[in-house]
Amino acid sequence: MDFDPRSSELRRRRFRPIPVRLLVPNFITLLAICAGLTAIRLSTEGRVELALYAIVFAAFLDGIDGRIARLIKGQSKFGAELDSLADFVNFGVAPGLILYFWQLHELKNGGWIAAMVFAISGGLRLARFNASIDDPNKPAFAANYFTGVPAPMGAITVLLPIYLTFLGLPKLPAVLTACYTLLIAVLMVSRLPVFSGKTVRMRVPPELVLPVFVSVVFFIALLIAYPWSILSAGSLLYLVSLPFGWKSYRDHARKAASGSVTPAEVASEAAADPTYSAAPAAAPENDRPERLH
């Protein structure tokens, strides 16, 4: 039997060591999946409060895994696909099941349909996001917006009826909870432009470093001390802000259509986001621009 040295070389290349920096973001994503699955288990056991904590923890991990990946140059196509799977479990399936075991089961098949529609909408939202990443026809300003409510914010806002109950307010009728669940599902799969925050400056002036640290610690302390008040207020404010995102998108689209975008506006966008370009550009295949879908 003839020995082919190329086959040995290909085998070694196929099983070459993987840098640790590629594994760290995936470990965070796997931890988020564990949090989402734990939330489902807790909801089946009637421990809804702990289930909500697990969902919030999963949302926190989802918010940092992509940023850490870009910080340490640990992006990979495998990590991007794993992140989408985690988002479907954590922000589609888990919230729907929590609502079902909490109240929607009172409607029997109707409640199950509402929970199922929400979970499916989360999956469709993620699939559309993945398919539109490399769209060359997307205008440059569209990088500032999501299409539809992103999955993590959809999960946080859809649980608003539970937050209000924990604040001591009367529980909404199951029919209203189901209608609200379907409303958030529609917002997730809609074409509504939603602020993404991608062009928010990530650099802090030296004189503001300490105030920023204090503000972050203060917010975390408030969230721990008054979780249901903060989550309720945040969900309501987010829903109220949606029309402003739509109006801002329309204004940008009108300027782009009339060709009235000024060089100063382009410079402002470029300063806020180093990846900004006046011409649309496709994202690299293995580096999604934002993991908040």
Interval 241-278: pLDDT, tens:
998 888 887 887 787 777 655 544 544 444 444 444 44
What confidence score (pLDDT) does residue 68 get? Answer: 83
Place of tokens 């249901």: 228
Residue 226 pLDDT greater than 90, yes or no: yes
Q: What band does 285 get if pLDDT is binned at 50, 70 and 90?
A: very low
Share of the chain above pLDDT 70, in %: 76
Q: For the residues 282-287, what does the mean pLDDT come to?
A: 39
Dihedral sign computed on CA atoms, order 171, 175, 176, 180: positive
Cα angle for residues 168, 171, 174 (degrees, 5° grid): 165
Place of tokens 């490399």: 134
Cα angle for residues 129, 131, 137 (degrees, 5° grid): 95
222 is written with which tokens?
Answer: 């408030």
What confidence score (pLDDT) does residue 88 get? Answer: 93
Average per-residue pLDDT for the chain: 81
Does residue 228 sit within a domain? Answer: yes
At 186-217, the pLDDT tens digits run 999 998 888 876 655 567 777 777 888 888 89
Structural domain range at position 239:
18-197+208-272
78 is written with which tokens?
Answer: 């495998």
Task: Please give the DSSP secondary-structure letter assigned to residue 136.
Answer: T
Does residue 290 sit within a domain? Answer: no
Does residue 13 sit within a domain? Answer: no
Does residue 191 sit within a domain? Answer: yes
What CATH code is carried by the domain that includes residue 225? Answer: 1.20.120
Contact 223, 230 (CB under 8 A): yes
What confidence score (pLDDT) does residue 197 get? Answer: 67
What confidence score (pLDDT) does residue 184 get? Answer: 95
Q: For the residues 155-163, what does the mean pLDDT come to?
A: 95
Share of the chain above pLDDT 90, in %: 46
What confidence score (pLDDT) does residue 287 get? Answer: 41
Q: Higher pLDDT residue, 288 or 132? A: 132
Does residue 284 sit within a domain? Answer: no
Beta bridge partners of 195: 145
Does residue 286 sit within a domain? Answer: no
Does residue 287 sit within a domain? Answer: no
Contact 184, 154 (CB under 8 A): yes
What confidence score (pLDDT) does residue 137 get? Answer: 67
At 75-118, the pLDDT tens digits run 778 888 888 899 999 999 999 999 999 999 999 999 999 999 99
pTM above 0.75, yes or no: yes
Q: How many domains does the chain have?
A: 1
